[in-house]
Amino acid sequence: MSDYVNVNGTCHCGRIQISGKVYEDMVIACHCTDCQQFSGAPFRPVAIIKNEDIKIDGEVTEYTKVADSGNERVQGFCGNCGCQIYARATDKSVFNVRTGFLDQHHKLTPKKHIFGQSKVAWIETISEAKWHVAGPESNEMKP
Ligand SMILES: [Zn+2]
Ligand SMILES: [Zn+2]
């Protein structure tokens, strides 16, 4: 078993709190088209957490997405602020938690890229764009 990180986080408005245990080799970057569409981002970093290692407080709104194969995938988010919380298996055995709202997200480096077949065409070269400290008129920086 790899090392794990104790994580905690809340959605933007604070109605949902999550805490749990993330094994370092269970963090992935998902480039599937669902992740791109739901998040508006090129990929979503995800921590795969078993039911017994996660605690969820607050009411998570869920949307069940049915794949062409018939497989169901439940997408959980905050119904108030819209923060994306997880995708889960229908039997609640495993939660794929979105790492962006976790306080420890800088430590949760993805160990794998999945669904590389649908990665955006510019993902490997995005670092070549200019970096600014804050908004587009702020100072440039080296990443
Ligand atoms: Zn919220
Ligand atoms: Zn995905």
What's the gap in Å between 141 CA and the centre of ligand 1?
A: 32
Confidence at residue 1, expressed as pLDDT on a 0 to 100 scale: 59
CA 134 to chain centre: 23
Confidence at residue 143, expressed as pLDDT on a 0 to 100 scale: 85
Cα atoms in the 13 Å half-sphere on the side-chain side of 112: 10
What's the gap in Å between 2 CA and the centre of ligand 1?
A: 32
What's the gap in Å between 32 CA and the centre of ligand 2?
A: 4
Non-local (6+) Cβ contacts of 11 within 8 A are: 58, 78, 80, 81, 83, 85, 101
- For 55, the domain range is 4-141
Residue 23: CATH number of its domain: 2.170.150.70
What pLDDT digit, counting tens, does each position of 6-34 carry? 999 999 999 999 999 999 999 999 999 99
Element containing residue 36 per DSSP (H, E): helix 33-39
Non-local (6+) Cβ contacts of 90 within 8 A are: 64, 72, 73, 74
What pLDDT digit, counting tens, does each position of 89-140 carry? 999 999 999 999 999 999 999 999 999 999 999 999 998 999 999 999 999 9
What's the gap in Å between 35 CA and the centre of ligand 2?
A: 4
C-alpha 21/C-alpha 131 separation (Å) is 33
What pLDDT digit, counting tens, does each position of 111-123 carry? 999 999 999 999 9
Domain count of the fold of the chain: 1
Confidence at residue 2, expressed as pLDDT on a 0 to 100 scale: 77
